Amino acid sequence: MTHNLLATLRPLLAAEASAEAYASGTEPSDLEQAVWLRLLERLDSDGPPRDPQGWLRRAVRSEVRRTRRTHRLERPYETEPADDADRGPEHLALTSARHRALRDAVRRLPGRCPRLLEALLSPKDLTYREIAGELGISQGSLGPERSRCLGCLRRLLTPEVAAHEARG
């Protein structure tokens, strides 16, 4: 039953993901993988949806909205100036301490998150294809895996950051 459902939905999901992905700034394969994961979670808890095609279309659009929200809320890394002459030793020490704290937190993450985030933070600026080859996972898995790892990192760092910064 489940195999037939997956085989039936595969072409529809590919078409829906291709149609919606680029408008949300994501890859169709990442969107497909997120929806497959959502379907498997649903099958595990509630069983198959009554209207699989309708459910799939709603799930794709929901993932697109989630992706847009994520892109809107995420901020790119700020690049630091290459010239350290205008920064004092205190600033350099604090920056170094922040980088050390981040690396320590990354090492405490579960599973393959430490290797993935180290690859993403690498000064070599590796592509997703290079990172996937290095870690031995599919390129389409990197986006969802990265999101899970960053979520773990946020939860790990929240108590440390909350103690130092005022909220609101």
Claim: this prediction has a pTM higher than 0.85: no
Secondary structure string (H, E, C) spanning 69-130: HHHHHCCCCCCCCCCCCCCCHHHHHHHHHHHHHHHHHHHCCCCCHHHHHHHHHCCCCCCHHH
**pLDDT tens sequence across 74-105:** 766 666 555 555 678 888 888 888 888 888 88
For the chain, domains (ranges, CATH) are 2-73 (no CATH), 98-164 (1.10.10.10)
**pLDDT tens sequence across 44-58:** 888 888 899 999 999
